């Protein structure tokens, strides 16, 4: 990865969804780089505990509000150099429980934060997702692939909210010359994920640590490309600093089956847990791996943390916090 630090050009940033898993790491990295941060979150799926250690640091402000609500925008007085829009329910457990709120974050929330960025002439970056590709018919997935998404399926509230948000950002760039970009994230994982959020890595880790069966959906042959959170943050900030208006994939390049992830977690935790196969959720993608050529050529970005090393660090985090956590559900 390039050694360039894009943060040097920013003085103040707004990070929506800043108390979430990925948002909290972004807040911390920006502060470490000397950028003042307004962390914006309604705590619907985020946790104040993720940013509690930042509260006493100079330049950090926590703003509890819903970016979809007009009064939230009025609270964000800025001025900002950077607006990172990461507010959204990203886990299956959350967006299935909160479908309308998920759609609002992608539509009303994106429009509101674009208005803030335009007001301050700030760089805007949308956190999009590999889910815009749906259950892909093209492999690996390039940014010019339009996707295979079920618009009325159970996952559509998340998939389509991000696809609409991408269309909205693109329209602002074309119609108003907004300085805005899009980053498509693939299976980011690491410390501060919630044990009960329904995604594979935290679910498997917590089940293994508790000695419970690991619940693998389907036959476990579906693939994912895991990207450790530190590498994801590197990529996000490089896209933010690039002024690229094109969507850019950021994700791991090691494609691994869900079954192999489960088996390796059992081995790394030394657990006696068995693996149980459960019904596979509707519209669950069969194969998932990004083509990251654009990120490599445009930004010099490549993931550095091997997935197994990242898993070890994630296990260490959950092992340290497990007594305070609820049992992980059998979701995915």
Dump the DSSP string for 73-93.
Answer: HHH-----SEEEE--S--SHH
Mean of pLDDT values over 231-238:
98
Which run of H or of E encompasses 160? helix 156-176
DSSP classification of residue 135: S
Q: Record the tokens describing residue 169, joined without a space.
A: 């950002």
Q: Which fold has domain 8-188+227-250?
A: Rossmann fold (3.40.50)
pLDDT at 3: 52
d(CA 24, CA 53): 10
The pLDDT of 56-77, averaged and rounded, is 95
Pairing of strands 255-257, 223-225: antiparallel
Q: Which residues contact 323 (CB under 8 A, 6 or more apart)?
A: none
> Using CA atoms, how far apart are residues 36 and 89, in angstroms rounded to an integer?
25
Enzyme catalytic residues: 158
Mean pLDDT calculated for residue range 75-84: 96
Number of C-beta neighbours around residue 267 at 10 A: 11
Q: Does the domain formed by 190-224+254-283+304-324 have CATH 3.90.25.10?
A: yes
Taking each helix axis from N to C end, the angle separating 110-120 and 156-176, rounded to the nearest 10 degrees, works out to: 30
Q: What's the chain's Rg over C-alpha atoms?
A: 19
| pLDDT grade for 328, boundaries at 50, 70 and 90 | very low
Residues 6+ apart with CB under 8 A from 74: none
The H-or-E segment that residue 101 falls in is helix 99-104
How large is the average pLDDT for residues 263-291?
Answer: 93
Q: Provide, rounded to the nearest whole percent, the portion of the chain with pLDDT above 70.
A: 96
> Minimum mean pLDDT among 53-62, 71-80, 157-166, 322-331: which range?
322-331
18-65 residue pLDDT tens: 999 999 999 999 999 999 999 999 999 999 999 999 999 999 999 999
Has residue 9 got a pLDDT over 90? no
So where are the chain's domains? 8-188+227-250, 190-224+254-283+304-324
Average pLDDT, the chain: 93
Q: Mean pLDDT throughout 265-291?
A: 93
The mean pLDDT of 271-293, rounded to a whole number, is 92
Q: Which tokens in the block code for residue 65?
A: 């509000």
Indicate if the pLDDT at residue 329 is higher than 90: no
Rounded to an integer, the average pLDDT of 74-99 is: 94
Q: What is the pLDDT of residues 129-185, one digit of tens each?
A: 999 999 999 999 999 999 999 999 999 999 999 999 999 999 999 999 999 999 999
Residue 326's pLDDT is what? 46
Cα–Cα nearest to 128, from 181, 68, 66, 177: 181
pLDDT reading at 4 higher than 80: no
């Amino acid at each position: 990865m390039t050694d360039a630090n894009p943060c040097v050009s920013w003085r103040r940033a707004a990070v929506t969804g800043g108390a979430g898993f990925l948002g909290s790491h972004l807040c911390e990295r920006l502060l470490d780089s000397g950028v003042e941060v307004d962390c914006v979150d309604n705590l619907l799926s985020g946790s104040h505990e993720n940013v509690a250690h930042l509260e006493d640091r100079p330049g950090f402000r926590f703003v509890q509000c819903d970016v979809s609500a007009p009064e939230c925008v009025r609270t964000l007085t800025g001025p900002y150099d950077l607006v990172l829009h990461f507010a959204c329910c990203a886990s299956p457990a959350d967006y299935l429980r909160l479908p309308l709120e998920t759609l609002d974050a992608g539509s009303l929330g994106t429009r509101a934060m674009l208005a803030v960025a335009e007001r301050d002439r700030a760089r805007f970056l949308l956190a999009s997702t590999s889910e815009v590709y749906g259950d892909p018919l093209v492999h690996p997935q390039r940014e010019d692939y339009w996707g295979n998404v079920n618009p009325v399926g159970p996952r559509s509230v998340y998939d389509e909210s991000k696809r609409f948000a991408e269309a909205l950002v693109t329209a602002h760039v074309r119609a108003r010359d907004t300085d805005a970009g899009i980053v498509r994230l693939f299976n980011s994982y690491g410390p501060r994920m919630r044990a009960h959020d329904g995604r594979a890595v935290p679910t498997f880790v917590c089940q293994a640590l508790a000695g419970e069966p690991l619940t693998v959906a389907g036959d476990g042959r579906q693939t994912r490309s895991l990207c450790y959170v530190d590498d994801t943050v590197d990529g996000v900030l490089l896209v933010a600093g690039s002024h690229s208006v094109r969507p850019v994939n950021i994700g791991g390049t090691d494609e691994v089956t869900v079954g192999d992830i489960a088996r390796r977690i059992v081995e790394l935790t030394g657990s006696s847990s068995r693996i149980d196969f459960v019904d596979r959720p509707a519209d669950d993608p069969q194969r998932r791996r990004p083509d990251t050529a654009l990120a490599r050529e445009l930004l010099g970005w490549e993931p550095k943390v091997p997935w197994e090393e990242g898993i070890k660090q994630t296990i260490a985090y959950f092992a340290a916090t497990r007594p305070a956590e609820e049992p992980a559900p059998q979701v995915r």
